[in-house]
Structure 1
Amino acid sequence: MDEEARKFLARFVEDYPPTLDEDSVLPLNPLSRTVSLEELYGESLEMGMRMLGNRLAPSVLGALLCQTAVSQLLQSDLTPFYCSQEAWADQEEEEKAVLLETVPVQRFFLNKLFALALEWHQKSFQPPSPPPKLRLCSIHAIRNTRRKMEDKHLALPEFNQLFNIQDGVDRAYYAVFDGHGGVDAANYAVTHLHVALSKQETLQSDAAAALKSAFKHTDDMFRVKAKRERLRTGTTGVVVLIQGQELTVSWLGDSQAVMVRKGQVVTIMEPHKPDREDEKQRIEDLGGCVTFKGCWRVNGTYAVSRAIGDFDQKPYVSGDADCVTVQLLGDEDYVLLACDGFFDSVEPSEVPDLVLEGLREPDDPEEGEENSLQQSVELKGLRVAQHLVGVAKEAGSSDNITVMVVFLRPPEQLLLSQNTTTAAAHTTGEDSASQDAPQQ
């Protein structure tokens, strides 16, 4: 077993009791008071990954622990945790689902997780699958001047390990969700969309179709919860799935993904906005309208034309995601995901220069001088998203801002290629000037 994983398991089993009794308070708050059988999968994974992440568990170990514990949970008799019939009496007949009390069922799940960690610690557990491909990922998110933080994000390079997919194809999942009217829809999407994606039969053969179905299924699931709990929120979202040598982006609304290849922006998507001509036409064909009230809005309400949630304005606010698949050639620099709080004040064309600015920032004296050049650039790479968020804020954005930069090749290679290009251009400029100079 990996030394880091071994040390973590030793600390973990020492810090937590073998079991939580019926009166024990959960070590962290669950997302909801009641949960359907279908929602239990995602909410248990979220709780386990959040707890292990807070304890700085090695990411692959955390994913494997959660996957195995959830599998054991779902094979158990869960009837002791069912809510009383009154809890779902208000549901419409075709949408009735068994509901479980979240706190006791998650306590049951955590006990399985604790027991599994103890077993793996004692047996020096060996991971059954190869580790995911390592990609540097920089993430930064701020509430900014808004009263609440309604953005959510997820970086999951351990997608295969979390869902026990062993087909030999490397997969990584990255997502940014921008909630409005509250955080409920964004919370739901960040918890359940990747779970829905893992269950799609077309995942291996057609990632775009799988992502579209996952978005639609998540929207349908949230509709039931929103009706049950009288929620009136929505969320835009952008998801990037890297599967082998393919990168698929899927989105609803005005959160965006931008790819940079050889220092140049490659447009891979167009955000859904109410004033986009095809979106406006779609809404009007359905009998709705797009009006200007401070910004362009659907039926005078929402400033987005596609979203998970916003059920009072369906189908005008569509839940159908768009998808694009790009073949990775090996010369891609990175892909950036961000909410509209970033793109409202920063143009996609500005991204390459801003990322290079971040990579060229002076070294932090507190990090010491013992770091190699590669380590120094990697540390700056991890801070690139923070630099970009700061630029967006200084440019006037008052919204929540979330930025995620997934490097598709090491950042030191970006700097090296950029320096080479600059030097070549400088040399060419000198040669040209020499040729144009008058003869003496």
Structure 2
Amino acid sequence: MGMNEQDGAQSFLKSFVEEFANPLGQDDPLPVNPLSRTVTLEEVKGESLDLGLRLLSSRKAPGWLSTSMCHAAVTELLKDDLSPFHCPKDPEQQQEAEAEVVLLQSEPVQRLFINKLREVGVAWQKQLPNRTPRSSRSRLCSVHAIRNTRRKMEDRHVLLPEFNQLFGLQDGVEREYYAVFDGHGGVDAATYSSTHLHVILSQQEVLKSDTSTAFKKSFIQTDDMFRIKARRERMRSGSTGVAMLLAALTFTDTLTWLGAWGDALDEKKRIEDLGGCIAFMGCWRVNGTYAVSRAIGDFDQKPYVSNAADCSSVQLSGDEDYVLLACDGFFDVLRPADVPALVLEALREAGGSGEDVAQSLVAQAKAAGSSDNITVLLVFLREPRDLLLSEITAGQV
């Protein structure tokens, strides 16, 4: 760890410990609102990590420190007896299939988690643990999202360049995780996916040996968990999504998506073989309802709307420029073939700076007629200035 990193970490820890000089009492308000009022035991980790990262990010904590602190705090939280926070069972509301589901009150659980986070801060201010050095440099990521003309923002995105640190993985493979979730019929499914999918992915035994299978299992498990919550809380939303895991040791990019149609003919046959149909109502729709054939949620149309994700693992050569993840609000009006020219145009206008490229792409999609929520997430695999310089040099040849 360099001196600048260490000084920055110590400066943050000092201010954090000063702000949280005393543990939160049972009547003290939470500094950050939890996502849910009640959680299952399986959801505690994801909800706690989400709250912790939001709390630390809002206070400008270094990314590596945020993920490391959250991992340490949630590890201690899960060692505690959480039974005092169990919700009383309601026989009238609890479905027979959910008889074994244990619900916890989210607010006191998160209060305990923040106190664990405080304890980590106090201990690390005295002795900062050694940070595992990264063999690869940090990548620049440009992201921008707008509600556009829609009444609500139903997109969610995740940037997790410190994936291993958040989950304490030490298997010699550096990983970065990025995702965009495009909700419909409400934001609940997209929020749930952005909170829990990467947590479930980190727990897959085959993560190192078969990342595609790990992703497929994670999407299915996320959907199964959301089904229980949706039934309990009467949620009817769904979400498509695209998620990516960059593995630095093998230079592999595993891209997974749960979306519109994939191979349209194969999807049509799959749905019809199940007894469903595809109807054209302004666009192709499953049983005349949803304009997507694969999604988290949309349980009233399962199994016609599938939770089986399409996965692709690509061995990177080192010559790739960037990876772009975006929702339908972008790709409904712009083709993938349009992207390279738009990225180069944005880089030229910014003098080679890549930070605002996503904002420029979102503006282009809106100008092209998109009225939907728009989210664009761009992960540069080369320095943006080098990318622009290569283009200029090629143009002079």
**TM-score tier (shorter):** over 0.9
The normalised TM-score by structure 2 is 0.96
Structure 1 counterpart of 2:317: 329
Instruction: Measure, in 2, the Cα distance between the counterparts of 1:99 and 1:167.
Output: 33
Shift of 1:127: 3.3
Structure 2 counterpart of 1:46: 50
Q: Show the 5 A alignment for 1:85-104.
A: 85-86=89-90, 90-93=94-97, 96-104=100-108
Aligned with 1:272 (options 262, 269, 287):
262
Structure 2 counterpart of 1:178: 182
List per-residue Cα deviations over 1:234-286 (Å, max 9, x = no partner).
Answer: 000000111121000001014xxxxxxxxxxxxxxxx538xx11111111111
Q: Which amino acid aligns with 1:247?
A: D
Aligned with 2:32 (options 14, 19, 28):
28
Instruction: Measure, in 2, the Cα distance between the counterparts of 1:133 and 1:98.
Output: 43
Instruction: Measure, in 2, the Cα distance between the counterparts of 1:25 and 1:17.
Output: 15
Residues 1:209 and 2:182 aligned together: no
Shift of 1:18: 2.1
Q: Show the 5 A alignment for 1:28-427.
A: 28-86=32-90, 90-93=94-97, 96-123=100-127, 125-131=128-134, 133-244=137-248, 245-254=251-260, 272=262, 276-362=264-350, 377=352, 380-424=353-397
User: Is the 8 Å Cα contact of residues 93 and 232 (structure 2) preserved in structure 1?
Assistant: no
Superposed CA RMSD in Å reads 1.4
Instruction: Measure, in 2, the Cα distance between the counterparts of 1:87 and 1:56.
Output: 45
SS at match of 1:146: coil
Shift of 1:133: 3.7
Shift of 1:88: 8.5
Instruction: Measure, in 2, the Cα distance between the counterparts of 1:188 and 1:291.
Output: 29
SS at match of 1:300: coil
Shift of 1:94: 5.3
The normalised TM-score by structure 1 is 0.86
Q: Which amino acid aligns with 2:383?
A: P
Shift of 1:96: 2.8
- Alignment coverage as a number of residue pairs: 390
Which sits farther off after the overlay, 14-23 or 135-144? 14-23
Q: Which amino acid aligns with 1:391?
A: Q
Gaps of 5+ in 2: none
SS at match of 1:139: strand
Identity, % of aligned positions: 60
User: Is the 8 Å Cα contact of residues 200 and 218 (structure 2) preserved in structure 1?
Assistant: yes
User: Is the 8 Å Cα contact of residues 67 and 166 (structure 2) preserved in structure 1?
Assistant: yes
Shift of 1:119: 1.4
Which sits farther off after the overlay, 37-46 or 15-24? 15-24
Shift of 1:391: 0.1
Structure 2 counterpart of 1:372: none
Shift of 1:145: 0.2
User: Is the 8 Å Cα contact of residues 87 and 103 (structure 2) preserved in structure 1?
Assistant: yes
Q: Which amino acid aligns with 1:419?
A: I
List per-residue Cα deviations over 1:262-313 (Å, max 9, x = no partner).
Answer: xxxxxxxxx538xx11111111111111111121111110010100000000
User: Is the 8 Å Cα contact of residues 181 and 241 (structure 2) preserved in structure 1?
Assistant: yes
User: Is the 8 Å Cα contact of residues 139 and 381 (structure 2) preserved in structure 1?
Assistant: yes
Instruction: Measure, in 2, the Cα distance between the counterparts of 1:407 and 1:196.
Output: 26
User: Is the 8 Å Cα contact of residues 322 and 378 (structure 2) preserved in structure 1?
Assistant: yes
Instruction: Measure, in 1, the Cα distance between the counterparts of 2:371 and 2:145.
Output: 13
Instruction: Measure, in 1, the Cα distance between the counterparts of 2:294 and 2:99.
Output: 24
Flag the structure with larger Rg.
Answer: 1
Gaps of 5+ in 1: 255-270, 363-375, 425-440
User: Is the 8 Å Cα contact of residues 154 and 186 (structure 2) preserved in structure 1?
Assistant: yes
Instruction: Measure, in 1, the Cα distance between the counterparts of 2:97 and 2:10.
Output: 50
